[in-house]
Amino acid sequence: MALATVGGRPVLILKEGTTRTRGDEARRINIMAARAIADAVKTTLGPKGMDKMIVDSLGDITVSNDGATILQEMEVAHPAAKLMVNLAKAQDKEVGDGTTTSVVLAGELLTEAEALLQKDIHPTVIVEGYERALKFVESELEKLAIKVDPDNEEWLIKVAETAMSSKLVSAEKKKLAEIAVRAVKAVEEMKGDKRYVDIDNVKIVKKKGKSLAETEFIKGVILDKEVVHGDMPKRVKDAKIALLNVPLEIKKPEIDMEVQISSPQELREFIEQETRILREKVEKIHSVGANVVFCQKGIDEVAQHFLAKYGIMAVRRVSEKDMQRLEKATGGKIVNNLDDLTENELGKAGLVEERKIGDDKMVFIEECENPRAVTILLRAGADTILDEAERGLKDALYVVRNVVEDGKIFYGGGSIQEQLAIRLREYAHTEKGKEQLAMEAFANALESIPRILAENAGMDAVDAIVELRNAHKSGKTSVGIDVLNGKVGDMAEIGVVDTYRGVKNAIAAATETAILIIKTDDIIAAKPYEEKGKEKGKGGEEEEGGGEFKSEFD
């Protein structure tokens, strides 16, 4: 039982079934679990990285080398391992790329820390050294960052290609990179004197069929819907679009009531009244000049008839998110009351057309003037390729956004990590305490990125790192691992580029996660959930230094 003593008397603390592991053993188990996660994705790093096949409990298969995707699909139990998964998720959400790098770097920081712990270096000293190293590295990143013109599409395409170079879709990375750049530049805004890009304004629509080469950029919106009535036009040029958040139906009363009809004449009058109301709604739409209607609510069959009679195309049950995209793309305003609909609220598009894509009908709203919402129609012959292409394209969109907003880049291929490692080792020698050892360990962890890139490319990692160090010490700071050609090369000439935000965030997040694990010396795990009917106890168990925290990593 988990007991403490107060005045010489034992006091019960934890419930029965709760396990507790403390001290060096707790730290060892946590480091082991976190490293296992890093090792799982280590071989996926870089263009020559391997893919992982994950089969879930339902038998669904995911094939990917995207770090965030792999870790999200894995069913991880250990809390320290979950911290690494959360690291990948945070990197993916905030930056959109560099998930594998951040997880691998955190694993290497923990490996280096474990070696120091075995030399009786106190965890607090290691943490202090890592924090000083991170502070130094962040200041050096500011100095080493290369400023670029966010309007220079050549740089943006290079960044996008680098982000997709390790994906299954790398064969079409040039085309997809160009599409990603066009999409980001289309939705770019200025907020004060700063550029801003909301990636949510770029919608990716996946449709099985054809090949990746058939992927299209649409200067507007695609709706996975069809025109509601067969007699309506399926193609409208110079469209004037009404965006309605009101039903084109007879509104039902909010209170319970009944209408008593005693004769066919009364029934006919009742139906005519409903028809008149719906006709007036449609006439209001027609009177302002609208020839296309997108309605978030339902459209009655009678209203459909009148819309078709006036030659108005209509789509119903459009999602709120798509309505917002239509508003941004067409320049129209969503109307919540038909009385408020005027010509000024109408959106505009060069073409609205219903097309058959694969087995489905879809409505294309394109040729919009200065749209703030755009769409990418992604095509591929297999669902697996489609899913991986979507992940690669999202990475490309995020990294292009990062460069547009920050205006800074680094050369890739592990060149920036090597340069940071060299500078950090020199700086560490100015420290007099044991923190120097931790700072050197941090430098070793940074250097692991080019080393792993070389290993995954089938190169001799030792020879590659020696050559890389010599190049950087001689002032060639853009030299990195040329993975595609299996040698050390100049990343500036090859065009391999990393984003400033991606590199900085990956190092900071990896360091914070590693420090959190190093500082943890106590694991208190509650009893696993039991089904009803099973006994629940009243006491607890505690183990000094070598508890039985059950995990696949033990």
As annotated, the active-site residues are 66, 99-100, 395
The rounded distance, in Å, linking the Cα atoms of 247 and 225 is 17
CA distances to 34, 81, 103, 330, 515 from 520, rounded to whole Å, are 13, 13, 18, 54, 9
DSSP-assigned beta bridge partners for residue 71: none
Q: Positive or negative CA dihedral for 166, 167, 170, 174?
A: negative
Residue with tokens 């962040």: 138
Using the 8-state DSSP alphabet, how is residue 38 labeled? Answer: H
> 81 Cβ partners below 8 Å, 6+ apart?
33, 34, 36, 37, 553
Cα angle 452, 455, 460; round to 5: 125
Counting beta carbons within 10 angstroms of the beta carbon of residue 544, is it exposed (0 to 12), middle (13 to 18) or buried (19 or more)?
exposed
Residue with tokens 């208190």: 524
The rounded distance, in Å, linking the Cα atoms of 544 and 380 is 56
Q: How many CA atoms lie within 13 A of 39 on its CB side?
A: 9
Is 499 within 8 Å of 91 (Cβ atoms)? no
The rounded distance, in Å, linking the Cα atoms of 297 and 336 is 11
Nearest to 111 by CA among 31, 33, 42: 31
CA distances to 98, 125, 361, 416 from 438, rounded to whole Å, are 24, 8, 60, 20
Q: How many Cβ atoms from other residues are within 10 Å of residue 462's Cβ?
A: 10
Strands 313-315 and 292-295: parallel
In 3-state terms, the chain is what percent helix, strand and coil (to 5)? Answer: 50, 20, 30
The rounded distance, in Å, linking the Cα atoms of 158 and 22 is 49
Cα angle 174, 177, 182; round to 5: 130
Q: Give the alpha-carbon dihedral of 174, 177, 183, 186, to 10 degrees.
A: -80
The amino acid occupying position 352 is V
The rounded distance, in Å, linking the Cα atoms of 339 and 245 is 12
**DSSP assignment of 475-518, as one string?**
T-TTEEEETTTTEEEEHHHHT-EEEHHHHHHHHHHHHHHHHHHH
The rounded distance, in Å, linking the Cα atoms of 68 and 7 is 51
The rounded distance, in Å, linking the Cα atoms of 210 and 222 is 18
